[in-house]
Structure 1
Amino acid sequence: MSSNAVRLRLGLPDDAPAISRLARRVASRWILPDQPPDAGQALLRRLGARALRQNIRDGQRFHLAWLGGVLVGFAAMRDDSHLVQFFVSTRYQGRGIARRLWQRTMDDAIRRAGTHRFTLNATRCAVPVYRRFGFVATGPERPSPTGVLTTPMVLEAAPGRQA
C-alpha cells in the first residue's frame, strides 16, 4: 500500500480514543525506553483519550492519517506554530506518511495564520525525522517541565511559500 491511499482529515473530539491508542502504542515502543520512568508515566497520561479530547476542544488542530479504517498517524499543532505531538504507527513508518502529514499540518498553519516559524520539542528517537523535514536543534536535549527528555527544534519556512 502506498501513502497515496492514505486519507488526511482534521481530528474531532470523537477521534480521541483512536488517537490515544495509536500514541500510547508508539510512545511505549519508541519514546519510553529513553525516558525516566516518572516522565514516561506522565507522558502516557497526557496521551489518554480524555486529555486529547480536551486538547482538540481547546483548539489544537489534529491532522489524522487514515488508511482504510485504520488510524496510522497524526500531528497535533498548537497556536498554528508549535508541533505538540506527531506519531506514525510503527507498522506504517518508512512509507512517506509522516512527510505527507507534516506537509498538510504545515500548509494548514501557513494558510490559517501565515506562520513561517515552527517549533517543537523532539524526543531522542524523533530528532532524525524532524531533521529530514528541515528542523534544526536550538539547544541540547533537556528535561521538559514534566521530565520528558526533549531537544528544542525550529523550522523557518520560506516566506514566499504558499499553502
Structure 2
Amino acid sequence: MVLKNYLEYSEIIDYLHPDIQTLARELALNCNSDVEIAKNCFEYVRDEIRHSGDYKENITTCIASDVLKHKTGWCYAKSHLLAALLRANNIPTAFCYQRLSCSEYQEDIYCLHGLNAIYFKQYGWYRVDARGNKKGVNAQFIPPKEQLAFELKEHETDLQKLYCKPLKSVIKALQEHTTYDEMVNHLPDIQQYIRKARKDDAAHLSRLVHQLNHFIFNEHAPQWFLDTITKEAFEARILSCEYQHFVYIIENKMVGFIALHNQTKLYHLFVDVKFQGQKIAKKLWEFVKDELVIETMEVNSSVYAIKVYESFGFVKEDEIKNHMGMDYLPMKYRGNGIYEKK
C-alpha cells in the first residue's frame, strides 16, 4: 500500500480549490498534530455540512468544492469533502464503504454507505463517518476507538478495501441524479465484493470445500482432512487470531474464499465450481496481497491448482510430495521478484 496514492488530487477531490485550501488552513490553525487537525476536519464536515438525505435536499453534490459551496451532500459527497480537507493538510485519506439496508428510503433494498479511513502513524488506518448525527446516529472521532454512524445488522457488511479514489458507481449516481427523489431511487450499490468472514459463514465454507475436495483427492477424502473442514473447524479458525478469512460475494451469494495462516501460509483458496473461470481466485489473492502488504507467502498447492498459483507469481520450492494420501507441491511467492534456484 503506497500512502502517496491516498494524497492524490483529482477532479472530484479538488483540494487545490481556493475555498478548500482556506478552510483546510483554518481548521489546522493552532493544532499540534495530525490527529488534532483530522478531528477538526471531521467535526466540521459532520456538523456543518447537511446530509442531503436527512434534509431531503433537491441538489446533489459530488465534487468536494461543490459540497463546501452548497453546504450539503449525501454521505459519499461528504466523504469527498473530508478527504479533500485532510489531503490539503497532507494527511493520507481513503474512501471506504459499507453495504447497508436502505429501508429508511425504500423497503427491501441495500445500498452503499460512504465513509473515510485516515492514516495516522501511531494508529494506522482509522475509520470515521462524517455523514452527520441525528437521533440514533452518534458518530465520533475518538481514536483509536472507532465509533461509526451505524452498527452492522444481519446481511449488512463492511467492504474491506480502502480506495484511493471514490468508486465509479458512486460518482455516476451523484452526477446523474440531481434531486432527492432521483437519488433515493438510484442509490449506488455493488454486486461483487470481498469481506472478512464471520462465524456464521462457517457452515457455508464447510459445504463449499466438501463440494470441491475431489479436486484434491483422486478418491474419497481421508478422515483427517474431513475433520479439518467441518463447520466447527471453520468456526475455530475464523475466531482465531492466527487465521484470516476473506469471502467473495456475488449478489449476496458466497462463491469463494481465501484463508491465510499467520500471514505467511496460504491455507485455503476455493471457488464454487459454477463461478470458476471468472478470475475470482485471482481477485481474492490480489486483495490479500495488496491490503495486507504480502511480500512472501507459502502454499502447498494441490496438483490441480499448480498452474493457477504459477499465474499468481508462485514458484515451486520442491517436487510433488504426498501427505497421508494428499499430493501437493510446495510453492512460494516472493513479492520482490527474487527467487532462489532449486
Q: Which of 228, 250, 253 lines up with 1:67 in the alignment?
A: 250
Structure 1 stretches of 4+ with a deviation exceeding 2 A read 39-42
Structure showing greater Rg? 2
Q: Counterparts of 1:5 and 1:102 in 2: how far apart (Å)?
A: 19
- Of stretches 12-21 and 100-109 in structure 1, the one that deviates more from structure 2 is 100-109
RMSD: 1.8
Structure 1: runs of 5+ lacking an equivalent: none
- Tell me, what secondary structure is at the counterpart of 1:7? strand
Is 2:247 aligned against 1:32? no
Tell me the TM-score normalised to structure 1 length: 0.83
Percent pairwise identity: 26
Tell me the TM-score normalised to structure 2 length: 0.41
Which residue number corresponds to residue 48 of structure 1? 230
Which residue number corresponds to residue 102 of structure 1? 285
Which residue number corresponds to residue 264 of structure 2? 81
Q: Do the aligned residues in 1 keep the contact of 2:303 with 2:329 (CA within 8 Å)?
A: yes
- Tell me, what secondary structure is at the counterpart of 1:22? helix
CA offset digits 1:33-78 (Å, max 9, x no partner): 2x6x5x6332222111111111111221001001112111000001
Is 2:316 aligned against 1:137? yes
CA offset digits 1:88-120 (Å, max 9, x no partner): 01110111111111111222331xxxx411100
Q: Counterparts of 1:143 and 1:68 in 2: how far apart (Å)?
A: 38
Q: Counterparts of 1:109 and 1:27 in 2: how far apart (Å)?
A: 28
Which residue number corresponds to residue 205 of structure 2? 19
Letter of the structure 1 residue corresponding to residue 216 of structure 2: I
Q: Which of 288, 297, 305 lines up with 1:126 in the alignment?
A: 305
Is 2:340 aligned against 1:157? no
- Tell me, what secondary structure is at the counterpart of 1:32? coil
Letter of the structure 2 residue corresponding to residue 64 of structure 1: V
Return the structure number with greater helix share: 1
Q: Do the aligned residues in 2 keep the contact of 1:81 with 1:109 (CA within 8 Å)?
A: no
- Go from structure 1 to structure 2 and tell me whether the alpha carbon gap of 1:89 and 1:157 turns closer, same or farther (over 3 Å shift): same
Which residue number corresponds to residue 194 of structure 2? 8
Q: Counterparts of 1:107 and 1:72 in 2: how far apart (Å)?
A: 21
Q: Which of 48, 54, 57 lines up with 2:239 in the alignment?
A: 57
Deviation at 1:148, TM superposition (A): 1.9
Letter of the structure 2 residue corresponding to residue 95 of structure 1: Q
Q: Counterparts of 1:22 and 1:94 in 2: how far apart (Å)?
A: 17
Instruction: Name the count of aligned residue pairs.
Output: 147
Deviation at 1:6, TM superposition (A): 2.0
Deviation at 1:27, TM superposition (A): 1.4
Q: Do the aligned residues in 2 keep the contact of 1:73 with 1:88 (CA within 8 Å)?
A: yes
Q: Do the aligned residues in 1 keep the contact of 2:217 with 2:326 (CA within 8 Å)?
A: no
